[in-house]
Structure 1
Amino acid sequence: MSPETALLLARSQFAFTISFHIVLAAFTLGLAQFLMVLEGLWLWRKQQVWLSLWRYWSKVFALNVAVGVVTGVVMEFSFGTNWSSLAGRTGAVLGPMLYMEVLVAFFLEAGFMGVMLFGMNKVRPGIHFMATCIVALGSFFSAFWILAANSWMQTPDGYLIAADGRFRPVDWWAAIVNPSFPWRMAHMVGAAMLGTACLVAACGAWHLLRDPRHPAARRMFSLAMWALVIMAPLQIVLGDLHGENTRDHQPVKLAAMEGSWDPPPPGHGEPLRLFAIPDMAQHRNHYELAIPDIGSLYLRHNLQGTIHSLNQYPPDELPWVPLVFWAFRIMVGLGLLMLAAGVGGLVVRLRGRLWQTRWLLRLMVLMAPAGFVAMLAGWVVTEAGRQPWTVYGLLRTTESLSPLGPQFVLGSFILVVTLYLVLFGLGLWFLLRLFARPPAPDEEGAEPDVARRTGKGENDA
């Protein structure tokens, strides 16, 4: 096997591991915020149903974190095995960011997770709620540092390249808050919230189809639909702003997203390509279906603006256009579907039939993975679109690989795939078993005596 085969195997292994881990990490981020809201509602309203929901989803959270930690550790080991050249040249910049993710975020999250999961009847409600908030904050900080490192590789700043070819930090603020980081962070957090909202809505809809009067299912479905109707349009706005940043800092990636091989004729704007089959050999699209000039509306916010085209760049600096082109359309299509579902939910809510509208309930069950599939598609756009670079414009992927034989990379790939499939399969089996039954009023454990411990009265559910 050739060195090109080793590179393909190493990239495939990392794509496989990150695809599993990013879903688990995003679900942890979104679910941590959801648990914080549930406990806050319980302390505010003093209703048992909110505590039942908190207990129900805290089990899902614990299972997700357990699987996510293992997949994350395996993924980070690949930097030292398959990508040692990348680690050696960029370690002075990326190393401290990943260290901060472990030291500040992971330890903060893990240190208070025990109190959150096992301390409900052992500490005062205010202390327990503080622990839940800190876990939610820790998951946010974890995303902060991981995305800061990734964004630096996309739009590097605050560095110099030493004589030995290693990247050295000279301005940590510029390196961390690099040009693409604010938009990438906001867009990723929005994706985590939408993915969690779709899954929670699907769980609530599943139980409402069997018992439309179940109080806990009603509340989880209602909360998730509110999140969907708020976050979906906000995510579209954030995506537009992130796209403008990509246009200015990674024009080749944007051209691949749009399938734009050549500039439009003079006096015309970029078309909105609804369908095309990009051809990397001929540098053109086949079977293109496009609406003239409309692409410029979201690319330049006018009808005649243009962007850089793929044929303006050397062939060896282009990503694999078909993958980026179609991943972008999957992401946008699912985003519009989530927006439509949120608006539909708002309409039936205003009519007083949120929990009885069976077409909406069935739709949300089918859309259970929609948010996370859209997020994965967006991640493909982000990572595949920056190829052939690991550090955009500065360090090629071929220069980042460890000096390993293809047989070793293939062996580790098979081992990782086996481990992940077994681990993820068991986690998914336990998750579906948890989802199979609705939250019970006495969800594992007696309800803490809020009235006695806080001095306030309690209302019935």
Structure 2
Amino acid sequence: MALSLRGRTLFPGLEKLSMQTVHDPALLLARFQFAFTVGVHIIFPAFSIGLAAYLAVLEGLWLRTGRPVFLDLYRYWIKVFSIVFGMGVVSGLVMSYEFGTNWSVFSRKAGPITGVLLSYEVMTAFFLEAGFLGVMLFGMNRVGRGLHFAATCCVSVGTLISMTWILSSNSWMQTPRGYTIDPATGRFMPADWLAIIFNPSFPFRLVHMGLAAFLSVAFIVGATGAWHMLKARRRGQVASEPVRVMFSMAMWMAAIVAPIQIMAGDAHGLNTLKYQPAKIAAMEGDWVSEDHAPELLFGIPNMKTEHTDYAVRLPLAGSLILTHSVNGRVPGMKDFPRDQRPPSYVIFFTFRIMVALGMLMVAVGLWSLWLRHRGKLYETPLFHRVALCMAPAGFLALLCGWITTEVGRQPWTVYGLLRTSDSVAPNALSSMAVSMTAFVVVYVLVFGSGIGMLVRLLGHTPHTGEHGTSPDHAPDILAARSHPAVVDPTHGEGA
């Protein structure tokens, strides 16, 4: 049945298409293909956002303190950034084509709003990043220190601006505001751009995603430092200063930001309870609205029987966590029609994995503070092994959070207004299967190779004098290439 408003059909011509259900194989494959491509893509922009900010901090500390170790770390991590940034650009191009092929109906209906927001991202963030990226990557010995630092900051700011526009577009789909609907075409038309951009869920998603990017990179940096400290220990050596500094900075980030992320997530949850109560009910596995609600620590939601099997409950905690009151009322999925319920059996678990990983990150941060207080931060192999195992924690939590957000929005693409089954293009199942297979093969080859390059780069131990010398001695580098003995008196021929 097509969506209607006061008896009028909002999306004329889609009556037949809207009869599709979530069990339609072509629709499921279109959703899975987009989820696969976005799931791969989202890792690299998050990595770029956090790593660009880290590079800006490193260069700023080097300029302020003059300590070469910060320059060594900058040169070490900028190689990683260049690969991650490139993979993020490449993986993001695919989605623009998917909007036009698999989701052309959505693009036609929501394009006047989402298309404009994404074009703002290109005109502001992408141009800013592209304009200064070359200076950042190749200009260390060619421009002044201040200009190079400005370029690094511009690239970092560009990644944050890009995140802002993309999250504004996605948040509008979650909590649409500031629109009108053209009665002739059913298209969403902008009526108030401020209401569209700053929709109710946008500030919470922006903060939550930004902190997730910073935490994800912090644990990658920390794991890299832990790996090299363990390797040095096995060789009976002391870890180099760059290794210890990177590990210390990462643990400071974990100790400070992980608890803030928990609070940001709590605020985001309150916002979701207000604007998307069905998503909350599915996340919690609750079927009946109740006061003094328990928290389900574990269970298996059953959409057919409308019951959560094998439930392990913590009394009163559900109301306390979701409403900050033991008397608060928690919604149940039976409050909503069957065809408007998100698949609880997916987001019930992804939400709990995300929360569990967040708590582990907090625990690692607190453990690092205790070891730092005792002067044992660099001398505790057990902690280093734990930090190494936590390398993917941030990105796994980010992916679980994204799945919870997007699957929890179902069955809508524009929440409460445009159904997913009414957004997909009428493509044949065979064409969807061929393109899905091609995507998987190409992604495994291309991005598998890229990740392999990253692992090899991170396996190289950062050391004092990374890449040879500082920009102040660039002429000496040139001299060394022509006359090695002039710079290095221990060189065989010079001696």
- Normalising by the residue count of structure 2, what TM-score does the alignment of the two structures yield? 0.89
Distance 2:293 2:150 in 1: 51
Cα-to-partner distance string for 1:18-57 (whole Å, 9 max, x where unaligned) = 1111111100000000000110111111111111100110
Match of 1:33 among 53, 77, 91: 53
- Counterpart residue type for residue 110 of structure 2: T
Work out whether 1:348 is the aligned partner of 2:371: yes
- The answer to whether the 8 Å contact 1:46/1:450 transfers is no
1:6 CA displacement:
0.8
1:206 alignment counterpart: 227
1:288 CA displacement:
0.3
Task: Please list every run of at least 4 consecutive aligned residues from structure 1 whose deviation after the TM superposition is greater than 6 angstroms.
Answer: none
Distance 1:440 1:229 in 2: 25
Work out whether 1:369 is the aligned partner of 2:392: yes
Work out whether 1:289 is the aligned partner of 2:312: yes
2:16 alignment counterpart: none
Any idea what SS the aligned residue of 2:447 has?
helix
1:75 CA displacement:
1.7
1:459 alignment counterpart: none
Distance 1:416 1:442 in 2: 42
Distance 1:130 1:431 in 2: 26
- The answer to whether the 8 Å contact 2:283/2:348 transfers is yes
2:204 alignment counterpart: 183
Match of 1:19 among 39, 48, 61: 39
Match of 1:146 among 166, 169, 173: 166
2:4 alignment counterpart: none
Deviates more, 1:122-131 or 1:415-424: 415-424
- The answer to whether the 8 Å contact 2:228/2:239 transfers is no
1:66 CA displacement:
1.0
Deviates more, 1:433-442 or 1:95-104: 433-442
1:87 alignment counterpart: 107
- Counterpart residue type for residue 229 of structure 1: A
Counterparts of 1:265-344 in structure 2, within 5 Å, are 268-344=291-367
Any idea what SS the aligned residue of 1:420 has?
helix
Distance 2:130 2:221 in 1: 23
Distance 2:456 2:231 in 1: 16
Distance 2:444 2:194 in 1: 39
Distance 2:38 2:206 in 1: 17
Cα-to-partner distance string for 1:147-173 (whole Å, 9 max, x where unaligned) = 000000000000001111000000000
1:445 CA displacement:
4.8
Distance 1:65 1:429 in 2: 15
Distance 1:294 1:389 in 2: 30
1:444 CA displacement:
2.4
- The answer to whether the 8 Å contact 2:99/2:107 transfers is yes
Work out whether 1:121 is the aligned partner of 2:144: no
2:12 alignment counterpart: none
Distance 2:43 2:137 in 1: 22
Distance 1:151 1:226 in 2: 31
2:193 alignment counterpart: 172
Distance 1:119 1:451 in 2: 12
Cα-to-partner distance string for 1:3-25 (whole Å, 9 max, x where unaligned) = 61110000000110111111111
Q: Which has the higher contact order (CA 8 A, sep 6+)?
A: 1
Distance 2:415 2:289 in 1: 23
Any idea what SS the aligned residue of 1:120 has?
coil
Match of 2:71 among 38, 47, 51: 51
- Counterpart residue type for residue 228 of structure 1: A
Deviates more, 1:303-312 or 1:227-236: 303-312
Match of 1:227 among 249, 253, 259: 253
Deviates more, 1:69-78 or 1:381-390: 69-78
- Counterpart residue type for residue 427 of structure 1: G
Change (3 A) 1:208 1:11: same
1:275 CA displacement:
0.5
- Counterpart residue type for residue 191 of structure 2: V
Cα-to-partner distance string for 1:261-291 (whole Å, 9 max, x where unaligned) = 0123xxx512111100000100101000011
Cα-to-partner distance string for 1:318-339 (whole Å, 9 max, x where unaligned) = 1110101000000000000000
- The answer to whether the 8 Å contact 1:201/1:368 transfers is yes
- The answer to whether the 8 Å contact 1:256/1:385 transfers is yes
Change (3 A) 1:446 1:6: same
Matched length: 448
Q: Which has the larger radius of gyration?
A: 2
Distance 2:469 2:143 in 1: 14
1:248 alignment counterpart: 274
Deviates more, 1:81-90 or 1:306-315: 306-315
1:451 CA displacement:
13
Any idea what SS the aligned residue of 2:443 has?
helix
2:213 alignment counterpart: 192
1:399 alignment counterpart: 422
1:357 CA displacement:
1.0
Distance 1:316 1:81 in 2: 26
Distance 1:442 1:33 in 2: 22
Distance 1:450 1:108 in 2: 30
Distance 2:288 2:473 in 1: 66
Any idea what SS the aligned residue of 2:189 has?
strand
- The answer to whether the 8 Å contact 2:241/2:464 transfers is no
Unaligned ranges ≥5, structure 2: 1-18, 233-237, 476-495
- Normalising by the residue count of structure 1, what TM-score does the alignment of the two structures yield? 0.95
Cα-to-partner distance string for 1:394-448 (whole Å, 9 max, x where unaligned) = 0000000012111111111111111111111001110010011111323225311
- The answer to whether the 8 Å contact 1:125/1:450 transfers is no
Distance 1:127 1:255 in 2: 51
1:213 CA displacement:
3.0
Work out whether 1:217 is the aligned partner of 2:243: yes
- The answer to whether the 8 Å contact 2:243/2:463 transfers is no
1:441 alignment counterpart: 464
1:89 CA displacement:
0.3
Work out whether 1:432 is the aligned partner of 2:455: yes
